[in-house]
Structure 1
Amino acid sequence: MAQQMSRREFLRWLALSGGVVLGGQALVGCGTPGAGSGGGSATSPAGSPAAGGAGRPLTFVWSPKATNNPVFDTARVGAMDKAKELGITVEWVGPAEADAQRQAQLLDDVINRGVDGIGLSCNDPDALKPTIDRAVDRGIPVITWDSDSPQSKRLTFYSQDNTKAAQKAAELFIQFMQDSPNKTYAILTGVPGAQNLEERIKAFRAVVDPAGFELVAIDPCYDDIQRGIEVVENRMAANPDLGGWFMAGAWPLFGDINAMPKLLANKGKTKIVAWDTLPAQLQLVKDGLVQALIGQKYYGWGYDAVGILYDIVVNKKQYPPFVDSGFDVVDSPQKADEFLKKWETNDWR
C-alpha cells in the first residue's frame, strides 16, 4: 500500500505552498502549491484593482472551518487565483482547528476593522449566525460556501447539493454491500451539528436504512485527523465484523493509514464510501481499501465563490439562495487514476 501523507508532512507542504498558520489565522500568498509565495494576501500586480474603502483595493476575507484540514487548501488556491485575476485582495482567516467560537471571534475582529465582503464555511450554523448578521447589518456582504448558516442574513450559499450527493453515496454503498454477509454500518462525522454534515447523514440514511442496513453508531471526530483515526479504530474494536463505513468527511484517510490496523485487517470486507477526493484517498481506492468517493468542488469554493461575491459587490448582481456546484464520483481504480492526474497538474478550471 502506498504511504499516506502524514499530518506533519501535509503542514510542511502547506507552508511550502505559501500558507503560514499564525495563532489560528492563515495568511497566504497568491501562488499555487510549490510556487514558494510569501505570506500576506493576494492582489494583482498589474491592472486596475476594484476599489474598496479609502481608495484601497477591494478586500474580501475567506474563512474555512479549519486551516489544518487539507480539503480547504485547494479552496485557498482557487481564491487566490481569482483574486489575482480580479485585482483584489483576499485574506485567508480561520481557526487552526475546527472551532465555531474561535471562527466567530476571528470574524468579529474582521468586521470591526472593516472589509468589503466575507465568504465562510460555517463550523456551526447557529454559532455563526450572529456574526454573519452583524457583518451584513454593518454593510459587509456575506456569502457561505461548503457549509451554510441558512437562517442567517447571508446572501447566497455555494456548494454541492448535499442531499443529491449523499443519495448517490448511498446508492454506491448499497451496490458495494450487496454481497456482504453483515449489513451493519457506522457513520463518521466531524463537528456535530454542522449543516453540511447533518444533511449528508440524513440523506444517506433515508436511502440505506429502508434497504435493510443497520446503523450501529454515528461517531464524531470534530474535524480532527488524529481523532478520526482513533474513532475508527475504536469502532472496529467494538464491531470487528462491521459491514461498512459511511464517512461524511474523510478525516482519518488523510492521516497514517497504518495507524488503523483493525480497519486494514478488514480490507475488502468492511466497505467504505467516503467524502472527498484528495490524493491520499484516491490511492486508497486504487489499493482496494475504499470502494467509492464523493468529491466536492474544492477549487470552486475559492475561485467560483470569490467571483460570486465580486459580482454581488461590484456588479450588483443578485444570486438565488443556493448555487449548486455539482459533485464528482470516483468508484473505480480507473477513475481514481483520472483524478490523481488532475492533482498532479493542479488544473481544476
Structure 2
Amino acid sequence: MKPDSKLLLYTFSGVIFTISFIGMLIYGYKTFYIETNDVASEDYGYHFALIAEESDNDYWRLIEKGAMEAAEENDIYIEYVAPAKADNEKMLKLLDRMISAKVDGIITQGVEGERFVNLVHKGIERGIPIITVDTDVQSSERKAYVGTDNFYAGQLAGKALLENTEGEQYVGIVTGRFDAINQQERIAGFKQAVQGNDRIHIVEMKESNITVVGASQATYSMLKQYPKITALFGTSALDGIGIIDGLEEIVPNNDMYIIAFDVLPETLNLIKQNKIDATVAQYPEEMGYQSVNVMIELQRNDLLETEQYTGTNIIKKEDLLQDRIGDTK
C-alpha cells in the first residue's frame, strides 16, 4: 500500500474511533444520572448512595430533598444516582456499581426478582447495609424498609371510592408500571377494599410508564375502549395529572370520580379546581429524611423494627382549604 493511502486509512480509522468514543460517552450520560458534588466524600462522616427509580422524576426529587436535609444535619455525603428513564435493569446495574464502590450504605427502591435479592446479599456480605425506600422486597436481606404501606394506601383509595360514590361504578386504573412492586401492592389493596361490593366493577388497567404523557394516553385509550367508565384511579405520582389531560381531550366536561396518588403541587391544584376528587397522600420528603437516619443507625447496629412506615392518608378539597396537609416528619 502506498504511504499516502496508509495515511488516509489511519486518519479515517482515527476519526471513526473518536466518533464512536464520544457516542459511547453521550450514551452513558443519557442512560445513567450520577450527581456529583465539589466536596470529596472523604470529607464526610459517611458516604451513602441513594438509587432512585428515575433521575428527574418530581416524586424522587422530593425523596432526594429529604435525604439531603438529613445528610446535611449529620455530616453525610449522599450520592444520588438513577437511570435517566425508569428501567429495572439499569437500576440493578447501578446497585451493583455502588456495591463495588464500597459506599457505607445504600438506599434504593426495591426491584422485583432474583437478581435484586442476589445483589442485596452481595452487598450485605461485603458489610454494606442496604435499605429499601418507596418499594420493599421482603424476600431480600435488606436491613429495613422506609416508606408507605402501599397495600394500605390502595385500601384507602378503595374506601374513598365506596364512601364518595353512589350506584354502579365502572373503574379504570392507570398504574405507573406493571412490574413495580409498589404499584402491584396499591392495586391489590384497592381491589381488597372494593371486593364483595356488587356496584364496583374494575373494567381495565393500563400502564403510564410513570409519565404524564403515558397516563394521558392510557386514559384516552381506556375511555375509547370503555366509554362507560365512571371512575379512574391513578396509582403513581404523575398519573392523576395525566388522567386529567386525557379526560380533557376526550370528555372535557366529565363527571367522573378521580382518585390520584401523592401530593405534588399540580395534583393539589387540580383538587382545588374540582378536577380531581381526592388523592392518596404519601410523604416522599419524610421517606428520604427518615431513610438517612435509619442508615446512620445501621452503621452501629441492626434495627428491631425493620418496617418503618411513613404517613399516608386521603386528601380532599376540604382538607386543602383547612390546610390539613403537610410533611409528617
Using structure 2 for the length normalisation, give the TM-score: 0.83
Shift of 1:336: 2.7
2:30 is aligned with 1:23: yes
Which position in structure 2 is the counterpart of 1:10? none
Conserved? CA contact 1:274–1:292, under 8 Å: yes
* Map of 2:24 onto structure 1: none
1:79 is aligned to 2:64: no
**Residues in 1 aligned to 2:322 and 2:80: alpha-carbon distance in whole angstroms:** 30
1:214 aligned to which of 184, 201, 205: 201
Give the Cα–Cα distance (whole angstroms) in 2 for the partners of residues 151 and 288 of structure 1.
41
Q: Is the 8 A contact 2:176 2:239 kept in 1?
A: no
State which drifts further: 118-127 or 152-161: 118-127
Q: Which moved more, 1:162-171 or 1:120-129?
A: 120-129
More displaced, 139-148 or 186-195?
186-195
Q: 1:81 to 1:126 in 2, by over 3 A?
A: same
Q: Which residue of 1 aligns with 2:213?
A: 226
2:288 matched to 1:302? Answer: yes
CA offset digits 1:85-139 (Å, max 9, x no partner): 0001011111121111000011211111210000111243544222222211211
How many Å separate the matches in 2 of 1:250 and 1:78?
17
| Offset, 1:266 | 4.8
Q: Which residue of 1 aligns with 2:96?
A: 108
> Does the 8 Å contact 2:49/2:107 carry over to 1?
yes
Secondary structure at the aligned position of 2:204 is classed as strand
Distance 2:251 2:33 in 1: 34
Deviation (angstroms), 1:24: 4.1
2:320 aligns with one of 325, 328, 336 = 336
Unaligned runs of 5+ in 2: 1-27
Secondary structure, counterpart of 1:89 in structure 2:
strand
Give the equivalent residue in structure 1 for 2:9: none
CA distance in 2, matches of 1:27, 1:264: 41
- Which residue of structure 2 lines up, in the alignment, with residue 40 of structure 1? 37
Structural mapping, 1:104-183, within 5 Å:
104-178=92-166, 180=167, 182-183=168-169
- Unaligned 5+ runs, structure 1: 1-20, 29-38, 44-51
- Residue 310 of structure 2 corresponds to 325
Q: What corresponds to 1:89 in structure 2? A: 77
For residues 202 and 253 of structure 1, do their structure 2 counterparts lie closer, same or farther at Cα, with a shift above 3 Å needed? closer
Distance 2:185 2:146 in 1: 15
Q: Looking at CA atoms only, which structure, 1 or 2, has the larger radius of gyration?
A: 2
Supply the AA of the counterpart residue of 1:320. Answer: E
CA RMSD of aligned residues (A): 2.6
Q: Which residue of 2 aligns with 1:9?
A: none
Amino acid at match of 1:279: P
SS at 1:236's partner residue? helix
Contact 2:132-2:145 within 8 A present in 1 as well: yes
Contact in 2 for aligned 1:42/1:91 (Cα 8 Å): no
Go from structure 1 to structure 2 and tell me whether the alpha carbon gap of 1:136 and 1:130 turns closer, same or farther (over 3 Å shift): same
Contact 2:174 2:239 in 1 (8 A): no
Is 1:316 the counterpart of 2:315? The answer is no
Change (3 A) 1:175 1:134: same
Mapped partners of 1:74, 1:245: distance in 2: 25
Percent identity over paired residues: 23
Distance 1:281 1:127, change over 3 A: farther
Alignment TM-score, normalising by the size of structure 1: 0.78
Contact 1:75 1:298 in 2 (8 A): yes
Tell me if 1:201 matches 2:197: no
Give the aligned partner of residue 3 of structure 2: none
Return closer, same or farther for 1:97/1:249 CA change in 2, 3 Å cut-off: same
Residues 1:244 and 1:271: Cα distance change in structure 2 (over 3 Å): same
Deviation at 1:69, TM superposition (A): 2.0
Question: Structure 1, residues 10-37: CA drift from partner, whole Å, max 9, x if none?
Answer: xxxxxxxxxxx95344445xxxxxxxxx
Aligned equivalents of 1:335 and 1:68: distance in 2?
A: 29
Q: Which moved more, 1:153-162 or 1:122-131?
A: 122-131
Question: What's the offset of the Cα at 1:311?
Answer: 0.7
Structure 1: how far apart are the matches of 2:63 and 2:323? 17
Number of residue equivalences: 301
Distance in 2 between the 1:166 and 1:271 partners?
Answer: 16
The 4+ residue runs of structure 1 with deviation greater than 6 A are: none
